[in-house]
Amino acid sequence: MLQSCKFWRLPLLLLFATTFGYAQQIPVQFFAIPVRAPTSTPRTVFYVTDRRPSKDPKSYSSDRSENGTLSYGKCVVTIPRAHILGSLEIPPLPFLEDGAKHVILADLESQTDKTFYRLVSETVSNSDRRDAFIFIHGYNTTFQDAARRTAQIAYDLKFEGAAIFYTWPSQGKLLDYLVDKNNAEWTVPHLVAFLKEFHGKAGARKVSIIAHSMGARILTSALKEISSDRSTSVRFSQIILAAPDIDRDIFLQLAGAINHTADRITLYASSKDEALKISGFVQGYPRAGGSGEGLTLTSGVDTVDATAVRTDLFTLSHSYFSGRTVLADIFSLIKYDSPPGARFGLVPNVRNFVIYWEFHP
């Protein structure tokens, strides 16, 4: 009865209880203010960028930094409690952001490189496997997009180590493909410098890299430069090329030079990827992330045909790598270093005497 009282009756109730000696009989729980369960979970991700700083304190611009200078820092991204594995819940319009429904970039803190590496090293040291992963985004991606995607991947993978995203000055606009292509070439030496630096300062036993779309073009070019530098012994655990938007023939030329830069290189391809079909049509040659008769097969690279995976038509079936099925496969790759034959849902196939793998979800 007492607990059903309206708040405006509370003073009268207390007066009555005190006057007639009943105050000590009122349950303590009656006075407790109900606390709502949190609607989201924070996830910290680190960033490195050669974008120019923005007037917005929670972002960076789409312009190139002066002289390719790298900036460092960390972001706090909130993941809604109602998050669906493999989804990136974003609002239809920025002013409709709701922490209970959407993945949100909540905070950003720029740092010196010294502070950045200290915090990354601490995060790595506090993880069981002392590992890290680096995400390199593709075309049409803003700084905020990259932060949210990295946090979603880390959250869904239950990744305990340091999650870092390298973000280059993509314009974040659908019609600025050629500008992004130029900036992708411009950023390569900066990524090379960062990867060498990270290898020596992060304190991680294992570093995996996930590169999506045009980001795979940047990464493979960077790995070629690293592999040709005889003064360095940089080597990574897993290199994951998701829907790589790179000329297939150029990739085949690069493959021999980069296959010793990692313990394993995995390439995910799909014939449903409409974005890569458009890219191939515009540029005149098929992309390495395409499938069908043009499936990319080469020694030293595990090719996985993800055509059977359910895709999102809203993204032209280009972001399937972050969905439930492929993420589960990436989980086995990063956490257990599992070869394709030991991973769930992959079936071997052979073409031109080369083994590749297909999803049968």
Both 21 and 48 in a single domain?
no
Both 6 and 145 in a single domain?
no
The two tokens of residue 6 are: 């309206």
Residue 261: per-residue pLDDT: 94
CB 245 within 8 A of CB 139: yes
Q: Quickly count: other Cβ atoms within 10 Å of residue 218's Cβ.
A: 26
CB 216 within 8 A of CB 244: yes
Q: Tell me phi and psi for residue 225, to 5 degrees.
A: -65, -40
Both 205 and 245 in a single domain?
yes
Both 224 and 254 in a single domain?
yes
Q: What CA–CA distance (Å, rounded) separates 208 from 312? A: 26
AA letter at 2: L
Whole-model pTM? Answer: 0.89
Mean pLDDT score, 214-236 = 93
Confidence of residue 20 (pLDDT cuts 50, 70, 90): very low
Q: What CA–CA distance (Å, rounded) separates 177 from 43? A: 31
Domain count, the chain: 2
Q: What CA–CA distance (Å, rounded) separates 321 from 327? A: 6
Both 85 and 7 in a single domain?
no
Range of the domain at 24: 2-31
DSSP letters of 326-359? HHHHHHHHHHH---GGGSTTEEEEEETTEEEEEE
AA letter at 43: R
Both 222 and 270 in a single domain?
yes
Both 27 and 86 in a single domain?
no
- Helix, strand, coil fractions of the chain, as percent rounded to 5: 40, 25, 35
| pLDDT reading at 2 higher than 80 | no
The DSSP letter of residue 150 is H
Both 165 and 310 in a single domain?
yes
Mean model confidence pLDDT for the chain:
90
Q: Tell me phi and psi for residue 239, to 5 degrees.
A: -110, 120
| pLDDT reading at 266 higher than 70 | yes
Both 113 and 258 in a single domain?
yes
- What's the CATH code of the domain at 182? 3.40.50
pLDDT in tens, 111-149: 999 999 999 999 999 999 999 999 999 999 999 999 999
Both 174 and 284 in a single domain?
yes
Q: What CA–CA distance (Å, rounded) separates 321 from 242? A: 6
- In the chain, the percentage of residues whose pLDDT exceeds 70 is 89
pLDDT in tens, 320-349: 999 999 999 999 999 999 999 999 999 999
Q: What CA–CA distance (Å, rounded) separates 60 from 73? A: 11
Both 225 and 87 in a single domain?
yes
CA dihedral 123, 216, 256, 271 (to 10 degrees): 120
The two tokens of residue 158 are: 């239950």
Q: Which helix (H) or strand (E) holds 274?
A: helix 274-283
272 backbone φψ class: left, alpha, beta (φ>0; ψ -120 to 50) = alpha
The DSSP letter of residue 32 is P
Both 214 and 347 in a single domain?
yes
CB 110 within 8 A of CB 143: no
The DSSP letter of residue 184 is H
Q: What CA–CA distance (Å, rounded) separates 213 from 145? A: 14
